[in-house]
Structure 1
Amino acid sequence: MGLIALGLIGLAGWLIWTGRLQRMSTKDGMALGAALVGAVLAAKGKPMLGAPILLGAALFFASRGKAKTGKRRSSRRIADPIPLTDGDIEQARALLGLSSDADSGAVRAAHRRLIASVHPDKGGTEALAAQINAARDLLLDDLAGKDQKRGR
């Protein structure tokens, strides 16, 4: 039981180190905490108290795993197009640090430079990365619309 407790503590440390706990729900965190308490109780020589707690947490995670492996639905929802305003485009340019005469190559280069430093895999947040991606898409769509109006 001591090895199980050490394994669970190591798992919790790994989850914290990699940042995966940020994506855990409250229920997941509570179940992980209960599993740690159960494992510690079982390791301390109180298996009658620790084993049911540990078993309950294991069943919780097992049921969550089966629910997730069923039908996989896309978490991305395709939204209706929103009419663009000049303010939105200016905010997107400011976020990417571009001037008003930037072309599509400059937009892509600015996006690549900025996303490399704030990507969630590099320690940034998913929200900021999503804003940067949305700004790039908005500016590229705007430039494509202007090119179509010019007849290119």
Structure 2
Amino acid sequence: MGLLAFLLIGLAAWLIWTGRLQRMSAKDGMALGAALVGAVMAAKGKPVIGAPLLLGAALFFFTKSQPAKKRAKAATPSVSPAPQDIAAARKLLGIGADADARAIRAAHRRLIASVHPDKGGTEALAAQINAARDLLIKEAAQRH
């Protein structure tokens, strides 16, 4: 039990040291909680309950640590975006059709500063704004 506690303390220290606790999603938290419950159950003499929880959490974190290329077997084909998607992205960022990559990034920075999740905004809105920026930068690169 002492070795298990030492390993858990080491895991927590590593998570804090690398800053992963700050970037932890809800799924990460649930997997970490399952690992802790599994470790406690295994330490209390119930390895049949604890081992699957520990192994499941370890598998989750292992697959998450693999690069996205290795996880995705088939690459999605490159499809040109629809004109209405580009128009919606421009409207979201508040830029004109002639905006270059620098103007797109500047508009993105101004907008994301006010709606960032750390400032009280939602992750969904920030993701939409980031997707609009990426779409418009790709479209601007294709134009030039």
The interval holding the TM-score normalised by the smaller chain is 0.5 to 0.7
Select which of 86, 89, 94 maps to 1:92: 89
Please list every run of 5 or more consecutive structure 1 residues that lacks an aligned counterpart in the other structure. 148-152
**Distance in 1 between residues matched to 2:49 and 2:119, nearest whole Å:** 36
| 1:67-96 C-alpha deviation (Å, 9 max, x unpaired) | 6678961549443313532x2222111211
Which residue matches 2:53? 57
Matches within 5 A, 1:113-152: 113-116=110-113, 125=123, 127-144=124-141, 146=143
Secondary structure of the corresponding residue to residue 131 of structure 1: helix
What amino acid sits opposite 1:133 in the alignment? N
Is 2:20 the partner of 1:22?
no
Please list every run of 5 or more consecutive structure 2 residues that lacks an aligned counterpart in the other structure. none
TM-score (norm: length of structure 2): 0.53
TM-score (norm: length of structure 1): 0.51
**Distance in 2 between residues matched to 1:70 and 1:135, nearest whole Å:** 27
Task: Assess if the C-alpha contact under 8 Å between 2:90 and 2:97 holds in 1.
Answer: no
Task: Assess if the C-alpha contact under 8 Å between 1:119 and 1:129 holds in 2.
Answer: yes
What amino acid sits opposite 2:26 in the alignment? Q
Which residue matches 1:79? 77
Identity %: 39
For these two proteins, the number of residue pairs brought into alignment is: 133
